[in-house]
Structure 1
């Protein structure tokens, strides 16, 4: 039987494949379960709706003005049929920020300001979460400012902050994030930047029709994605000009070109405690760890794998693992094949821990349906494909390879990653 060949995922730029999963028929037929509001509506007698920031699979997000405190906020409204998942996320937020508020690492995690319930116009109720307005997500940062990779000093700063937040989650809270990705890393903005964004939104509202519709794009997410990004929303809204380029691109580039970058981690809708794992269906496709793909038990190390994938994407502008469907092999098989091409064969002892492994592997340990003979290790990819200088590629590859360890028990903790020579240099 002829095996399917996999394409090097580095051939696929970020804009061509962002890992987004399509909404299924059930989701499309349940649009009436989303919060329905009009611009100018007043929610809970104090939040004036200014603009819909976007809509995802489980929620929509609105830019609002708190008329009592005279400040802007982002309000995430969970669809009525996801009531319990909304409460789960609220409980995660409360646990995170009540465990040790004095710990500075806690500042790397988005904080919930308040939550409440509003009725649905058809049936049921909506769980609402209020957040400070933050800014654009890391995905926008990569696509619009550093499509070929950010300067390494910025990469180090951002990854260091992500690791600090995850270290707090793991070591202090006993929480696994389970869905770390650029869309769930938000860039903090100053008050002036927020005012400029709001002014721009208001300008767009009164701009005459140009014949182009506003496009709501769900960012790279998985079937479980429900967290906020893009001004604390889980979707980014871009208004395109006749030429097809975002008319707010200049504004974003100006914001992204600032000096020091501070981030906050968001989206705890699928997070779980280490003692209360909820489901095996976790992680957005490009950031999914091998233990999830083979159906093995998992823990905090899944987050470390995802951070390595984010680091590569930040540094190069490319997704590390971007499997495409190929006849004769499932996307999971292709995904595993890409890992093997880059990192070598998955040890048999690791394969044997996964209940799904018999679907993918022969007794010899080779993949059943995927040809992985075309090998290119991480250092080679950085030098030959991404055109990095060897002196830069070696230490970065070494940093990443520690986090891309197949055996989750040997993968470093977030605290250990923070001590890495590349990150501290």
Structure 2
């Protein structure tokens, strides 16, 4: 899985290991090169780990590096309590670039929760304003909890912080969530989901987007399969059974290692597996997570956003963008989940800029045309002549791609021609209008008959 340090002669190994970590709240890895150095200006206490600790092969987060080294993870222990005894740690669920995620019992609310515990470095970046996810979560939590879409977005149950030998740690407490889309596909052993299940995901995602766009004035910008998580039913019963049948485990440590070398014992990640069939046929409920790249809605806002293969045309062309880019992504994901392939794959062998290939593939897939004046201005910026011809037609020397209906019909034949196919394609097409003004708002799309009759 994830191994740091020296790979030969590893001295710490897992007692058990899962092939995929299912985080209850996805911790986005933000590459450290984009964050400022932390040296003498930091007020947190400096802890200097021993050389022995630094040279160990850490199986998950490196517990031997300090805040000055972009680390400062707290070695949480099973059974440890936090926030004046309110939370009791039961299990490690996973980890991210600047955080670890733990299952805990909330003794005040008498329920299970997930605690995203930031490293000292991650906490410092939040205090400096370099990481905005927590601020977005606060806004999402407080805007309008009575809105129907509130239950379809990740939000805070509580937050607290504590000080340790490594520095200050900010902790975000959330509901316990289950599979993300890729994990569900892995669990079901299929890369294509049934249309009615995709439409249920689309409906829940649109409810969440309606809340984000209309109530919170937030654009997510990073919708993708990893950031859509199932909200399980029977949470407490499932957790009780898992803790009984599959108790939490520590990583195996060589008995020759002394307490001087390893003063704490690393805990192995063991996500809770909520069986989707608990929820029946289409009773699944989806939640939008990970607000590390979310932006407040600002008129005229432009610049790069979204994963590149899911990037809306207005973002590529350098035009102002807003909530419609999230709707565009939903359309791309509908195709991807139905066919098992990306709608656009602009990484091809060519001397042309990837953006030009992407714009051309949009025309081939969707059958619409880009605005010629906008294309010409963009061509001047990227130094490509006759970009209107290149972007509105298949590019010579690059294999063309077929209209999206053709691949969707392949999918329909594989699944006995599901009767929802025509309505599914119609809805998907409305989300993939090249002109963002022609895409429906999330609330408007929710009134579409194919979604209201689910």
* Same fold at TM > 0.5: yes
What SS does the corresponding residue of 1:308 show, helix, strand or coil? helix
8 Å CA contact 2:74, 2:164 repeated in 1: yes
The answer for unaligned runs of 5 or more in structure 1 is 1-14, 211-235, 240-247
TM-aligned CA distance change 1:43 to 1:332, over 3 Å = farther
Contact 1:350-1:407 within 8 A present in 2 as well: no
The structure with the larger Rg is 2
Matched residue, 2:410: 384
User: 1:6-53 CA deviation, whole Å, 9 max, x = no partner?
Assistant: xxxxxxxxx9xxxx9997574999552444423333222332222322
Alignment partner, residue 163 of structure 2? 119
Q: Counterpart in 2 of 1:358?
A: 382
* SS of residue in 2 equivalent to 1:48: strand
Matched, 1:404 2:416: no
SS of the counterpart of 2:440?
coil
Quick one: which of 316, 319, 330 aligns to 2:342? Answer: 319
1:295 and 1:355 in contact (8 A); partners too:
no
Match for residue 298 of structure 1 among 302, 321, 325: 321
Describe the shift of the 1:391–1:77 C-alpha distance in structure 2 as closer, same or farther (beyond 3 A).
same
Structure 1 residues 360 and 346, CA gap change in structure 2 (3 angstroms)? farther
Q: Decide whether aligned partners of structure 1 residues 89 and 349 sit closer, same or farther in structure 2, where only a CA change above 3 A counts.
A: same
Aligned residue number for residue 346 of structure 1: 370
**Paired residue secondary structure (2:318):** coil
Q: How far apart, CA to CA, are the structure 1 residues paired with 2:28 and 2:147? A: 36
Which residue number corresponds to residue 311 of structure 2?
A: 288
Name the Cα RMSD after superposition: 3.9
Counterpart Cα distance in 1 of 2:218 and 2:155: 15
**Aligned counterpart in structure 1 of residue 284 of structure 2, from 242, 248, 261:** 261
Superposed CA offset, 1:302-321 (max 9, x none): 11011112222333343333
Q: 1:99 to 1:44 in 2, by over 3 A?
A: closer
Cα displacement (A) at 1:70: 3.7
What is the CA–CA distance in structure 2 between the aligned matches of 1:121 and 1:355, rounded to whole Å? 55
Distance change (3 Å), C-alpha of 1:43 and 1:355 = farther
CA distance in 1, matches of 2:105, 2:356: 47
- 2:229 is equivalent to residue 186 of structure 1: yes
2:242 to 179, 197, 200: 200
Identify the range of structure 1 (127-136 vs 360-369) with the bigger mean alpha-carbon deviation.
Answer: 360-369
Given that residues 34 and 59 in structure 1 are in contact (C-alpha distance below 8 angstroms), is that contact kept between their aligned partners in structure 2? yes
Tell me, yes or no, if the aligned pair for 2:29 and 2:96 is still in contact at 8 Å.
no
State the alpha-carbon separation in 1 of the partners of residues 397 and 151 from structure 2. 45
In 2, Cα distance between equivalents of 1:197 and 1:36: 23
Say if 1:364 and 1:101 are closer, same or farther in 2 by CA, change over 3 A.
closer
Q: Find the aligned partners of 2:410 and 2:212 in 1 and give their Cα distance.
A: 37
Moved more, 199-208 or 404-413: 199-208
For the residue of structure 2 that corresponds to 1:183, the secondary structure is helix
- Classify the secondary structure of the residue corresponding to 1:366: helix
Alpha-carbon distance between aligned partners in 2 of 1:175 and 1:99, rounded to the nearest angstrom = 11
Task: Classify the secondary structure of the residue corresponding to 1:64.
Answer: strand
CA distance in 2, matches of 1:96, 1:208: 35
Quick check: 2:338–2:411 contact (8 Å CA) kept in 1? no
Judge conservation of contact 2:376–2:388 (CA < 8 Å) in 1.
no
Structure 2: tracts of 5 or more residues without a match: 1-19, 21-26, 35-61, 253-267
Q: Distance in 1 between matches of 2:111 and 2:345?
A: 40
Deviations 1:78-98 (A, max 9, x none): 323431458733332333343
Work out the number of aligned pairs and report it: 372
Quote the Cα distance in structure 1 between the aligned partners of 2:304 and 2:186.
27
Answer yes or no: is the 8 Å Cα contact 1:157–1:261 preserved in 2: yes
